[in-house]
Each structure stands twice: as C-alpha cells, then as structure tokens.
Amino acid sequence: MACRTTSIRAQSPIRSQQAAFTLVEVLVASALAAVVMLILMSFSFFTNRSFASLTNYMDLDQRTQSALDKMSQQIRQVNSLTSFSSTNLVFQDFDGATLQYVYNSQQQTLTRTKNAKSETLLTGCDLLQFSVFQRSPSNATFQPFSTGSAASTKVIELTWNCYRKILGSSANNECMQSAKVVIRKK
C-alpha cells in the first residue's frame, strides 16, 4: 500500500519581513552618491589643472632660462654692438659675422639670426625690451649710464615677460625683470 505524505507550508499573510528599500531610502542614497561623485570630479578637475599649470610653468621657466643663458654667452663674446633699438640688437660677432636678436611684437617671438640661419629663442612674449648702457657707473651708484650710441655700449639689459596658456586662458607668467650682460671685448 502506498502512503501519501503531504506537507503543509506555513505561509505568512504579511510580507513585511522581506528585505527591500523604500523609495525615500533610494532617493537619499542617490543624492549622496551624486554629491560624492561631484566632489570627486571637482577634485580631479582641479588636480589635473594644477598639474598642467605646474608642468607648463616648468617648461616656460626652462625655456626662458635657456634663452637667457644662450644670449648671455653669445653677447659676452661679440666684438661690438653695431646698431640697436628697444626690440632689435645687431652685433659684430667674434668671427666677424653679423649676429642679430629681433623681437617681433605681432608674433610675440624673440629670434636669433646669424649667417642667414634663424632660431626662435622665445615664444609667447607679450613684452620684450633691450636697453644699452656705458661702462661707467652713474653718481656713485653701481648702475651704468644709459647711452644712445652703439659705439659706447658696454652693457646690454634684457627685460621680458613671457606667458603660456592653459585651457585657453593665459595662466602662467615668467618675468625676467632685468638681466644685464657685459660685452667682454670692449
């Protein structure tokens, strides 16, 4: 004889013991997650911008220092200054050739030219000015006298302001306030 077994399941009429989130809990959790994501994205944006600014500034500083070093070395070795303006210097170099430094305010560049070879030393310069001085100091100070003659020039002063753009805006400035270079052969 076959025996039949029946099982009786206990079913609860109330389903309150099942785990679930209410609509209010989901909305609060979503809002908190959105705020945290916004904070993380803002932090990431400003960190990346700061890193780009620092990298940009280091490149700008390196290029301006390199240009100053190159110009100082070459100006010290020239025979004489043959002509000048506030944006243009023309020298007779140690080998008798013409050495010229020209600032183009439209292109914002400083260019070195020798033997018909041009080399751009600086870009992004919104100001560059050359000044020339005599050898002798003025009025018991160590500042040299300004001169209007290329023949009496012994000291060249270089002044410039260069910048770089980050995300479309001018963000970094590197000012070379004053670098005075003495022509040694005079």
Structural contact between residues 66 and 162, judged by C-beta atoms closer than 8 angstroms: no
Dump the DSSP string for 60-93: HHHHHHHHHHHHHHHHHH-SEEEEEETTEEEEE-
Cβ–Cβ < 8 Å for 146, 126: no
Cβ(91)–Cβ(75) below 8 Å: yes
Give the H/E segment covering residue 159.
strand 155-166
62-98: pLDDT as tens digits: 888 899 999 999 999 999 999 999 999 999 999 999 9
Residue 12's contacts (CB-CB under 8 Å, 6 or more residues apart) are none
The residue that leads in pLDDT, 144 or 18, is 144
Residue spans per domain, the chain: 23-182
Q: Tens of pLDDT along 115-162?
A: 999 999 988 888 899 999 887 776 667 777 788 888 889 999 998 888
pLDDT, greater one: 16 or 26: 26
Quick one: CA torsion of 143, 177, 90, 116, rounded to 10 degrees? 160
